[in-house]
């Protein structure tokens, strides 16, 4: 029993529970990746805010600066920087498509009607459409990453 006397189990696993894959199904993996990719994208966006600010000379700049932009280009415009961008595109597209799936399910648009719980105890609410959308998200993300790879590495060799 908890200190509040409710008898409910405490949320002891917290966000670290995301990293425990025991008994995960596809939807659970999608849940974890939605959050992990969300945090990764936000970190990238904050970094991108920082690097684009060098277009105006960085934090102390006063206007468009050729030297500031060349400086930031010399750091990020290389194979490693482009590989990071390919990964960003990969997670961005997965996050976007999976996010649309989550919105559709939040508003009940892709749910099956709930029914009695019977063996083999699979949740009927998780329609095959949801599973397809997760795979569609993965496929679109991979295709977008290949596209980014071609765009970014074109002419580098």
Partner 1 sequence: MKESKLMLIQYATAVVAVALVSIHLIMQGVLYPYSTAISFGNILSIYRNGLYALFLESLLVVVLVHGFNGIRIILHEWKQSAPWSRWVDLGTVLAIVASVGYGTRTVILAIFGGVSS
Report the residue count for the chain: 157
Which one of residues 27, 32, 61, 129 is an interface residue with partner 1 (CB under 8 A)?
61
Number of residues in contact with partner 1 under rule CB under 8 A: 39
Tokens of 141: 């993300």
* Contact between 94 and 37 (Cβ < 8 Å): yes
- Which tokens go with 157? 């060799």
DSSP notation for 115-156: ----TT---TTS-HHHHHHHHHHHHHHHHHHHHHHHHHHTTT
Using the minimum distance from each CB to partner 1, give the nearer residue, 109 or 121.
109
Instruction: Give the separation between CA 78 and CA 54, rounded to whole angstroms.
Output: 17
Contact 76/51 with Cβ under 8 angstroms?
Answer: yes
Query: Rule CB under 8 A: is residue 11 a binding residue for partner 1?
Result: yes
Q: How far is the CB of 129 from partner 1 (least distance, A)?
A: 19
Q: Segment 72-111, which members bind partner 1 (CB under 8 A)?
A: 73, 77, 89, 92, 96, 99-100, 103, 106
In the complex with partner 1, the residue whose CB is nearer, 7 or 14, is 14
Say whether residue 26 binds partner 1 (CB under 8 A): no
Q: Which residues contact partner 1 (rule: CB under 8 A)?
A: 11, 14-15, 35, 38-39, 41-42, 45-46, 49, 52-53, 55-57, 61-67, 69, 73, 77, 89, 92, 96, 99-100, 103, 106, 147-148, 151-152, 154-155
């Amino acid at each position: 029993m908890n200190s509040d006397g409710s008898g409910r189990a405490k949320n002891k696993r917290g966000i670290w529970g995301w990293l425990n894959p025991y008994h995960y199904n596809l939807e659970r993996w999608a849940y974890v990746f939605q959050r992990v990719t969300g945090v990764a994208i936000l970190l990238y966006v904050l970094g991108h805010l920082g690097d684009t600010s060098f277009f105006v000379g960085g934090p102390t700049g006063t206007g468009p600066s050729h030297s500031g932009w060349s400086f930031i280009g010399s750091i990020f415009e290389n194979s490693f920087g482009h590989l990071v961008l390919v990964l960003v595109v990969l997670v961005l597209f997965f996050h976007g498509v999976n996010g649309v799936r989550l919105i559709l399910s939040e508003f009940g648009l892709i749910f099956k009607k709930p029914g009695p719980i019977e063996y083999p105890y699979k949740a009927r609410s998780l329609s095959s459409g949801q599973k397809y959308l997760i795979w569609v998200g993965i496929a679109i993300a991979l295709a977008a990453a290949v596209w980014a790879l071609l765009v970014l590495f074109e002419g580098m060799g």
